[in-house]
């Protein structure tokens, strides 16, 4: 299920909600918290706000699709000279197991690399906290067990937690960076579209029909028009374009026109990241639709795993070739 999260700067007005969430026994145990009153939570927020002013921390409240505060995610021990920091996240117990942890980590890591220009973000876990470790394993871009390479960071983590810990890291070079497409990206977009179509539709659409469609829909002129209108994002990994997505909105509805991932990068969850960015960039939209050719099993499975459902099937002609198409729908509010 696709989850949409929004990161907001802290406010003392959040104290009651944060205190309620951290009062759950599961959160107290996971975080080893000693917060007894709302005043303790206010003291915590004031300390975090001061640390952010001092440049030591960037902490954000996590809000879900219903505008509910559901947790906190924090970049801490920021070392701008070494271009590194550590990451800590907690999600309120009622929201465990629903995909919010990963969604919030995507968002805060993007901030670390794009806005703070850091090179690495450390993610630790107590050895006894198997749930935290399992959540980290879901991140395809994480490097596991780096304590021997960064002994000072590992030692500081264990000193903070007062118990044995696992140390992992996310390198900027391994994290897919999302940005708006521009004119200079057109050749790479065209190349990626050809590669993806040939891999996806080899047994569904004749090559001549594929070529005709790509020549029309991905010409320089057509792409310039699409980049200038709607939201067109590209994903860069290891300085190479690994995917792109294009969507346009009208009122509270949006159409996802394209979501293409290089076949060699499809294990990196880049499609999920692009979809998250599209959804989060259109907070006014409550309904997204996407057309998937029947028989494109990978595409059907991907959209279904993100919460899309098939609402229609129809026949269409593509340069004289008959296709059966499924219209998929995602409701986010």
The answer to whether residue 1 scores a pLDDT higher than 80 is no
Mean pLDDT of the chain: 94
Q: Give the model confidence (pLDDT) of 234-249 as tens digits.
A: 999 988 999 999 999 9
The answer to whether residue 215 scores a pLDDT higher than 70 is yes
Q: What CA–CA distance (Å, rounded) separates 164 from 242?
A: 37
The CB density around residue 47, as the number of other CB atoms within 10 Å, is 12
CATH 3.40.630.30 applies to domain 6-173: yes
Q: Give the model confidence (pLDDT) of 294-332 as tens digits.
A: 999 999 999 999 999 999 999 999 999 999 999 999 998
pLDDT band at 269 (very low <50, low <70, confident <90, very high): confident
Per-residue pLDDT, 322: 96
φ, ψ at 216 (rounded to 5°): -85, -50
Average pLDDT over every residue of 121-147: 92
Share of the chain above pLDDT 90, in %: 83
- Tell how many helices (H) and how many strands (E) occur in the chain: 11, 14
Using the structure block, give the residue that is written with the tokens 């990241």. Answer: 273
Q: What CA–CA distance (Å, rounded) separates 250 from 1?
A: 24
For 55, half-sphere exposure in the C-beta direction (CA atoms, 13 angstrom radius) is: 6
Per-residue pLDDT, 93: 96
CA-based nearest residue to 176, from 259, 236, 116: 236
CATH architecture of the domain with residue range 177-331: 3-Layer(aba) Sandwich (3.40)
Domain with CATH 3.40.630.30 in the chain: 6-173, 177-331
The CB density around residue 42, as the number of other CB atoms within 10 Å, is 16
Per-residue pLDDT, 332: 86
Sign of the Cα torsion 251, 253, 257, 261 reads positive
Least confident of 14-18, 187-191, 269-273: 269-273
Going from the C-alpha of 104 to that of each of 49, 74, 249, the distances in angstroms are: 20, 10, 24
Q: Give the model confidence (pLDDT) of 3-49 as tens digits.
A: 778 999 999 999 999 999 999 999 988 887 778 899 999 999 999 99
Q: What CA–CA distance (Å, rounded) separates 117 from 181?
A: 20
**Burial letters for 71-93: b for 16+ Cβ neighbours within 10 Å, e otherwise?**
bbbbbbbbeeeebbbbbbbbbbb
């Amino acid at each position: 299920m696709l989850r949409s999260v929004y990161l907001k700067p802290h406010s003392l007005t959040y104290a009651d909600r944060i205190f309620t969430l951290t009062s759950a026994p599961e959160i107290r145990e996971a975080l080893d918290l000693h917060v007894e009153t709302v005043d303790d939570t206010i003291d915590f927020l004031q300390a975090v706000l001061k640390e952010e002013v001092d440049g030591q921390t960037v902490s954000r409240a996590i809000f879900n699709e219903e505008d509910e505060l559901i947790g906190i995610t924090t970049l801490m021990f920021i070392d701008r000279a070494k271009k590194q920091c550590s990451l800590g996240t907690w999600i309120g117990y009622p929201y465990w197991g629903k995909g919010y942890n990963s969604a919030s980590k995507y968002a805060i890591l993007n901030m670390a690399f794009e806005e703070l220009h850091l090179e690495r973000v450390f993610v630790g876990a107590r050895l006894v906290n198997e749930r935290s470790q399992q959540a980290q394993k879901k991140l395809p871009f994480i490097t596991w067990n780096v304590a021997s390479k960064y002994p000072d960071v590992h030692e500081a983590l264990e000193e903070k937690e007062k118990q044995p810990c696992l140390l992992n890291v996310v390198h900027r070079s391994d994290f897919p960076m999302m940005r708006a497409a521009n004119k200079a990206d057109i050749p790479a977009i065209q190349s990626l579209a050809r590669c993806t179509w040939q891999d996806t539709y080899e047994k569904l659409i004749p090559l001549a029909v594929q070529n005709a469609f790509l020549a029309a829909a991905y010409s320089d002129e057509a792409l310039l028009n699409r980049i200038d209108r709607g939201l067109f994002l590209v994903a860069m990994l290891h300085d190479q374009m690994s995917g792109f997505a294009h969507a346009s909105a009208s009122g509270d509805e949006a159409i996802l026109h394209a979501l293409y991932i290089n076949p060699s990068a499809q294990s990196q969850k880049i499609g999920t990241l692009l979809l998250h960015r599209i959804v989060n960039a259109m907070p006014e939209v409550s309904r997204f639709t996407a057309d998937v050719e029947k028989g494109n099993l990978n595409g059907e499975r991907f959209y279904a795993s993100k919460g899309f459902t098939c609402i229609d099937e129809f026949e269409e002609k593509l340069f004289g070739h008959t296709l059966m198409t499924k219209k998929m729908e995602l409701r986010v509010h």
